[in-house]
């Protein structure tokens, strides 16, 4: 018999994360200084620490306010762009820029 994975709904994840965080932004787990209350207008965002949206282990998830989530995603995008630019630069023959 194969091992079955238990599927957890987003609402169940949110419930567990809200309980763990006390309904506050967990930006501190990512080195951010935020503890905004996630009520009313501040709808929480679930962030996957390892970037894998299929990895819904509670240890891989943090509950963030919209501001922190946007900041984290922008930093990740910037970091990915820098890594890509560095790889491209390394793959180019630098001497070809100086030949005319």
Mean pLDDT by 10 residues, the chain (100 residues): 63 92 92 87 88 89 93 86 74 48
CA count, 13 A, side-chain hemisphere, 77: 6
The pLDDT assigned to 96 comes to: 46
Under a CB-based contact definition with an 8 Å cutoff, are residues 29 and 16 in contact? no
SS (H, E, C) the chain: CCCCCCCCCHHHHHHHHHHHHCCECCHHHHCCCCCCECCCCCCCEEEECCCCCCCCCHHHEEEECHHHHHHHHHHHHHHHHHHHHHHHHHHCCHHHHCCC
Whole-number pLDDT of residue 1: 46
């Amino acid at each position: 018999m194969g091992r079955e994975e238990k599927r957890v709904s987003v609402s169940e994840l949110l419930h567990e994360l809200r309980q763990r965080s006390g309904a506050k932004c967990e930006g501190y787990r990512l080195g951010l200084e935020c503890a905004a209350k996630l009520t009313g207008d501040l709808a929480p965002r679930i962030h996957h620490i390892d970037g894998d949206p299929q990895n819904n282990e509670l240890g891989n998830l943090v509950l963030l306010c919209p501001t922190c989530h946007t900041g984290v995603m922008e930093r990740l995008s910037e970091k990915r762009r820098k890594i890509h630019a560095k790889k491209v630069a390394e793959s180019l023959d630098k001497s070809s820029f100086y030949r005319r």
